[in-house]
Amino acid sequence: MKIAKAAGAAALAVALLTSASLSSLAQAADWKPRKPVEFVIMAGPGGGADKMARLMQTIVEKHDLSSRPLIPVNKPGGSGAEALVYLKQKTGDDHVIMVTLNSFYTTPLRQAALDVDISTYTPVARMAEDTFLLWVHNDSGITTVDEFVTAAKQQGKEWKMAGTGRAQEDELLTRFLNKTYSLDINYVPFKGGGAVAKQLAGKHVNSTVNNPSEALGFYEAGTVRALASFTPERLPLFPDTPTFKELGVDHSYFMQRSVVGAPGMSPEAAAFYQGVFRKVYESPEWQDYMKKKSLRGDFLTGDALMEYWINGRALHQQMLKDIGDL
């Protein structure tokens, strides 16, 4: 392993040296990538983040937005820890960007040993925010949040909620429901939103807090029903589904779909990627996708995006503290 480490360190040093010398050459105003851009995905193949990253890549190719291709690389390890550390190792590299989600906040908070400070990363673009709804199976006969609370109270610990991963979005929402309605829901983590949706459709669990994109297929087939959304206003795709705010519980929660660059990326390169992803955001394909999947949110970049991240981190720190995870 020693040899591996030494070799890795040497390779890294060489990479840093070359990228440093190259970036000094590239001080020209219109910076362009000179080699394929690594497009790191903070999740495994087939998940929500992966699908979105591949859609972005497709749009970049289709509209010929980048002179060099984006090459997707999945780094799902350790709830995104692997991807975050990888980007940190690539400090100063102008050819590495990453698609990220809310584990961008929670993973560095929960794994302090990683020594990752997200405020050092380069903000490129917030492409959308994903929304959350509370779902039950149609056969359960439950149609309102009140009925849900009554049924869940009655069953106590036997009421099962499926979600993606530990101490991530779905569990934070489950804990919130437990606290607000004094329930004792049993949270069971699965890999990926698709698997979660299947658990509910197959009646292996009682409820989920899936993103619309994950539950949409079963919703359209009439298998599952949305009870309420964790959003400030009703979602256009679910006009008859009330928000929790309407029901007197003002709680909104979103999952960011953002693109981040390696720490210490040169301003020219950052400006280039920001321009590329602004065009992706404005493309008809992306707008159509956002509408179909019930995504929301404006395009954010630069300082505004950094501020959004700092706020997001503070929010998640509080949420993790509330559930006793920090």
Partner 1 sequence: MMEILSHLIDGFAIAVQPMNLGLIIFGCALGLFIGAMPGLGSVNGVAILLPMTFLVPPASAIIFLAAIYYGAMYGGAISSIMLGIPGASTAVATTFDGRPLAMQGLADRALVAAATASFVGGTISVILFTMFAPPLADVALAFGAPEEFALMMLAFGTFIGLGGDDIPKTFFSIFIGLVLSAVGLDIVSGEPRLIFGGIPGFMHGVNFLVLAIGIYGIGEMLWTIESSRGKLNVSQATVSVSRILSCLKDLKSTIKSMVMGSFLGYFVGILPAAGATPGSLMSYGVAKTLSKDPDSFGKGNVEGVVAPEAANNAASTGSMLPMLTLGIPGSPTTAILLGGMVIWGLEPGPRLFVDNQDFVWALIASLYAANLFAVLINIAFIPMFIWVLRLPFTMLVPIIFILCVVGGYAPTQDMHDVWLMFGFGVVGYLMRKLDYPMAPAVLAIVLGPLAETSMRQSLLMSHGTFSIFFERPVAGPIMVVAIVLFLLPLIKMIKDRIKKPAEGTDA
CA neighbor of 106 nearest in space, from 37, 175, 47, 200:
175
Contact yes or no for 70/60 (Cβ under 8 A)? yes
By the rule CB under 8 A, 78 interacts with partner 1 = yes
List alpha helices for the chain, DSSP H.
Answer: 2-25, 48-62, 81-89, 103-110, 145-155, 169-180, 193-201, 212-220, 267-282, 284-292, 302-322
Stretch that binds partner 1, among 24-32, 91-99, 106-114, 255-263 (CB under 8 A): 106-114
Sheet holding 37-41, edge to edge: 70-74, 37-41, 96-100, 255-261, 122-130
By the rule CB under 8 A, 220 interacts with partner 1 = yes
Question: Would you say 139 or 250 has its CB closer to partner 1?
Answer: 139
CB-based contacts of 261: which residues, under 8 Å, 6+ apart? 96, 97, 98, 121, 122, 123, 124, 269, 270, 273
By the rule CB under 8 A, 82 interacts with partner 1 = yes
By the rule CB under 8 A, 190 interacts with partner 1 = yes
By the rule CB under 8 A, 43 interacts with partner 1 = no
By the rule CB under 8 A, 6 interacts with partner 1 = no
By the rule CB under 8 A, 65 interacts with partner 1 = no
By the rule CB under 8 A, 218 interacts with partner 1 = yes
**Tokens 């493309």 appear where?**
283
Stretch that binds partner 1, among 57-65, 137-145, 265-273, 296-304 (CB under 8 A): 57-65
By the rule CB under 8 A, 81 interacts with partner 1 = yes
Stretch that binds partner 1, among 40-48, 140-148, 240-248, 258-266 (CB under 8 A): 40-48
Question: Would you say 124 or 161 has its CB closer to partner 1?
Answer: 161
By the rule CB under 8 A, 113 interacts with partner 1 = yes
Structure tokens at 82: 């692997």
By the rule CB under 8 A, 199 interacts with partner 1 = yes
DSSP string, 249-311: ------EEEEEEEPTT--HHHHHHHHHHHHHHHHSHHHHHHHHHTT-B---B-HHHHHHHHHH
- Interface with partner 1 by CB under 8 A: which residues? 1, 3-4, 7-8, 11, 44-47, 50-51, 54-55, 57-58, 61-62, 72-73, 75-79, 81-82, 85-86, 89, 110-111, 113-114, 157, 160, 165-168, 186-191, 194-195, 197-199, 201-202, 204-205, 216-218, 220-221, 223, 288-289, 292
